[in-house]
A and B are shown apart, each in its own frame.
Chain A
Amino acid sequence: MKKILVANRGEIALRIMRTIRKMGIKSVAVYSEADRHSPHVLFADEAVCLGAAPSSQSYLNGDKIIAFCKELGVDGIHPGYGFLSENAEFAQKVTDAGIEFIGPTPEAMRIMGSKLAAKESVKKYNIPMVPGIDRAIEDVNLAIEVAYKIGYPVLIKASAGGGGKGMRIVEKADDMQEQMERAISEAKSSFGDGSVFLEKYVTSPRHIEVQVVADKYGNVIHGLERECSIQRRHQKVVEETPSAIVTPEMREKIGEAAVMVAKSCNYVSTGTVEFLVDDKLNFYFLEMNTRLQVEHPVSEMIIGLDLVEQQIRIARGEKLGITQDDIKPNGHAIELRVYAEDPLNNFLPSIGTLTKYEKPTGEGIRVDDGYEEGMTIPIYYDPMIAKLVVHGKTRTEAIQKMLQAIKEYKIEGVATTLPFGTFVFEHEAFFSGKFDTHFVKNYYTPEKIKEKQKANAEIAAMVAIKYWQERKKMLSPVEHKSTSWKRRLAH
């Protein structure tokens, strides 16, 4: 492979291109009219404009991307995450055009992209699954019957949904009919497919996922787990590895299960198998993400592998250079997603210009970002500014390093999730490891951040008065001794 096009933007495009360059390969950036100034465009060897700012007219235009590949002699496409990364049709078109798609096969994407096909695929491997119905339904009466069997609370999920969209929790039988009807109509309007399925709702769930790496010769290894339970709006904000609750025995079991899920669909490249873990540490297969995950840097830090490099090596037909025995956790890594969102205002997007932007630096601190001071955050895309990732010898050390790094991260012009990060990493529940996906609901209120800001503001105010009074004292005698006309004479 001599030239790779990165079909993405922002931090992930830049991060992928860094590895491409390290491997002596040329990189091609794509960009929308809103992103001409983005670091990923400036960093690339070649860059092509896809069109107007909205994703549908730029980053999602697969045909245009493939046409540019042919024109520029590109022999590989890396899709990053989001946009076209899990679009089997696009992967198929890329392959048909004689270009290497750096990721799984379209077939594996198709299987894992449908929750039902995924469940069907892993069935014969004895992977534990949350009790529920194994086919999509649109029949309300059948739903009531099934819910009775598995027991309330029950979760209704759109078959074609994802990212927390189209999900409903039903607490009791009385609400089932109405909730089902609303879920079906919502699924129809959002995804064009009204089928839903039902499963038991795990009340104190943790979200733990396993990194897998597979080559084209059937060799599959796992790169340990990531704990991703700290979420807002069903989306992750904090991830860490290893998980504070996973024992070596459980690690081995959940890792083996993940490898089997990958094998069930003849998976190739890096992927992530997501599990739900209940309060008794039982784990259940949720789904497989057939792409490079946002939070992959935490795994890279403790297993010492560049996962993008692995993807490229696998894509060009190399065998895995490592075995499962080579994967040993080294220390602890934590990631905080720095979003342009206001934690004091319900995590609403806070859009504007980065009037100040200074990153923390130091040993064990990694910032994957796609912005620079003076840049404006476009309204068209995901509001993530950066991923702040730290590595420490122990979990405690990593937490302390993270708190320090947050203090040194100076962002002005927009509100960010940095203060929320401080709240999480200082919280007793996070420190003890006893938390689940309801962390935000159970512990977080904006007032807690406000209180701290107020205490700091009060100190700043007292220091300001002291400073002002001292300055007055120092200035006064000078004014008495030399009047302005005397000073003028001296010149």
Chain B
Amino acid sequence: MVENKKTYMVKANEFVFTFDQEEIDKADFIKKNPTEFNLIRNNRSVNAKLLESDITGKEVMIEVDGETFELVIKDELDQMLDRMGFSTVSSKHIKEIKAPMPGLVLEVAVKEGQEVEEGEKILILEAMKMENSIMIHTNARIKRIAVSAGQAVDKGQVLVELE
């Protein structure tokens, strides 16, 4: 394998990027001190600050332009392990819908056993004087409704289970 064709996958908060060694080598990058860096990219001069690092340097926290990013680097070996199924990331199949925020259930719009389509309203949750429609992001069949109208729920509490 040619050294500069090595690829790296980096997770930065919810974003995922892939770079090869050539791109990294070409980057106009300077180190001001052990924790502060400057990168010129697309003519933009950006300062970055290392906030935290694990012992390997593969999991770090970096601040750019006032925003904090949690980063995980995956080299070729890590990526291969992921492909072989050793990844801890679970599949995309949604089994339940959880409350995105604490609040009060105002209305449940579905019934147990009902077939629902992506984008359909499941229930209305009231928080901070506002009514929020909780939608479903997949096609599914409602297995169980875990809450009822008038009930207060915590963040992360299961609202509805899907088949």
**C-alpha spacing A349/B13, complex, angstroms:** 21
- The listed residue (B29, B41, B102) touching A379 by CB distance below 8 A is B102
Whether A460 contacts B12 by the Cβ 8 Å rule is yes
- Which of A382, A407, A456 is most buried by chain B, counting CB atoms within 10 A of its CB? A456
Stretch of A169-177, A285-293, A461-469 contacting B (4+ beta carbons < 8 Å): A461-469
Our pick among A410, A453, A458, A462 for the contact of B24 (Cβ within 8 Å) is A462
Tell me how far the C-beta of B80 lies from the nearest C-beta in chain A, rounded to whole angstroms: 18
Q: Is the interface of B mostly helix, strand, loop or mixed?
A: strand
A458 contacts across to B, CB distance below 8 A: 12, 15, 17, 41
Question: B58 at interface (Cβ–Cβ under 8 A)?
Answer: yes
Q: Does A408 contact B (CB under 8 A)?
A: yes
B156 to chain A, nearest CB (A): 10
- Once the chains bind, are A467 and B53 in contact (CB under 8 Å)? yes
A463 and B73 contacting across the interface, CB-CB below 8 Å: no
| Contacts between the two chains (Cβ within 8 Å), count | 119
Chain A residues whose CB sits within 8 angstroms of the CB of B15 once the complex forms: 453-454, 457-458, 461
A322 at the interface (CB under 8 A from B): no
Interface hits, B106-143 → A, CB 8 Å: 127-130, 132
Query: Which residues of A332-355 are within 8 A (CB) of B?
Result: 348-352
Give the contacting residue for B27; candidates A453, A462, A472; CB below 8 A. Answer: A462
Which residues A440-480 have CB closer than 8 A to chain B? 453-472
Say yes or no: is B159 at the interface (Cβ < 8 Å to chain A).
Answer: no
Tell me whether A252 is interfacial, beta carbon within 8 Å: no
- B101 near A349 (CB under 8 angstroms)? yes
- Verify A352–B68 contact, CB threshold 8 A: no
CB atoms of B48 and A352 under 8 A apart:
no
Interface size on A, residues (CB 8 A): 36
Q: Please, which residues of chain B bring their CB within 8 A of the CB of A462?
A: 19, 23-24, 27, 29, 39, 41
A408–B67 Cα gap in the complex (Å)? 9
A458 to B27, CA, bound (A): 12
Given A407-B66, A465-B10, A468-B73, A351 contacting B155 (CB threshold 8 A): yes
In the bound complex, residues from chain B placing their C-beta under 8 Å from that of A466 are: 24, 27, 29, 37
Number of interface residues of B (CB under 8 A): 44
Q: Which residue of A lies closest to B23 (CB)?
A: A462
B128 and A460 within 8 A (CB): no
Report how far A462 CA is from B58 CA in the complex, Å: 12
Is B128 a contact partner of A468 (Cβ separation < 8 A)?
A: no
Q: Which residues of A contact B29 (CB under 8 A)?
A: 462-463, 466
Considering only CB atoms, which chain A residue lies closest to B100 in the complex? A348
Residues of A near B62 (CB, < 8 A) are 460, 463-464
Whether A379 and B127, one on each chain, are in contact in the complex, defined by CB atoms closer than 8 angstroms, is: yes
Complex partner residue of A464 from B13, B71, B128, B155, CB under 8 angstroms:
B71
Task: Tell me whether B64 and A456 are in contact (CB under 8 A).
Answer: yes
Q: Chain A's nearest CB lies how many Å from the CB of B49? A: 9
Given contacts A351-B127, A352-B155, A382-B128, contact A461 B57 (CB under 8 A): no
Docked-complex contact B65 and A456, CB < 8 angstroms: yes
In the bound assembly, the distance between CA atoms of A410 and B100 in angstroms comes to: 22
Cross-chain contact B101 with A460 (CB below 8 angstroms): no
> In the assembled complex, how far is the CB of residue A335 from the closest CB belonging to chain B, in whole angstroms?
19
List, in ascending order, chain A residues with CB within 8 A of B60's CB: 464, 467-468
Q: Is there an interface contact between A464 and B67, defined as CB atoms closer than 8 Å?
A: no
- Whether, in the assembled complex, A397 has its beta carbon less than 8 Å from a beta carbon of chain B, the answer is no
Q: How far is the CA of A348 from the CA of B99 in the complex (A)?
A: 13
Considering the complex, give the chain B residue whose CB is closest to the CB of A418.
B66
Which residues from A are CB-within-8-Å of B39? 459, 462-463
- A412 interfacial by beta-carbon distance below 8 Å: yes
Q: Is the CB of B48 within 8 A of A460?
A: yes
B17 partner, pick from A350, A351, A461, A467, beta carbons under 8 A: A461
A48: interface (CB < 8 Å): no
Q: Is A383 interfacial (CB-CB < 8 Å)?
A: yes
Q: Which residue of chain B has its CB nearest to the CB of A452?
A: B65
Residue A406 at the B interface, CB < 8 A? yes
Most buried by A among B24, B103, B128: B128
Which chain B residues (78-115) contact chain A, with CB distance < 8 Å? 100-103
A339's closest neighbor in chain B, by CB?
B128
Q: How far is the CA of A466 from the CA of B21 in the complex (A)?
A: 10
Answer whether A459 and B64 are a contact pair too, CB < 8 Å, given A464-B71, A466-B24, A468-B73.
Answer: yes
Residues of chain A within 8 A (CB-CB) of B146 are none
Please tell me if the beta carbons of B17 and A457 are within 8 angstroms of each other in the complex.
yes
Cβ–Cβ contact B66 & A464, under 8 A: no
Contacting residues of chain B (2-31) with chain A, CB-CB under 8 angstroms: 8, 10, 12-13, 15, 17, 19, 23-24, 27, 29, 31
* Structural contact, A457 and B57, CB atoms closer than 8 A: no
Q: Is A381 an interface residue (CB 8 A)?
A: yes
Residues of A within 8 A of B130 (CB): 348-349
B67 to A459, Cβ gap below 8 A? no
Q: Is B145 an interface residue (CB 8 A)?
A: no
**Which residues of chain B come closer than 8 Å to A349, judged between CB atoms?**
101, 127-128, 130, 132
Q: 18 more A-B contacts (CB under 8 A) besides A407-B66, A458-B15, A467-B50?
A: A348-B132, A350-B101, A351-B103, A352-B101, A456-B46, A457-B17, A457-B69, A461-B71, A462-B19, A463-B29, A463-B64, A464-B10, A465-B10, A465-B19, A466-B24, A466-B29, A467-B57, A468-B57
Q: Which 10 A-B pairs have the closest CB atoms?
A: A407-B66, A461-B10, A457-B12, A471-B57, A460-B69, A468-B57, A456-B64, A457-B15, A460-B62, A464-B71
Pairs A–B under 8 Å by Cβ, sample size 5: A348-B101, A350-B101, A453-B15, A466-B37, A472-B57
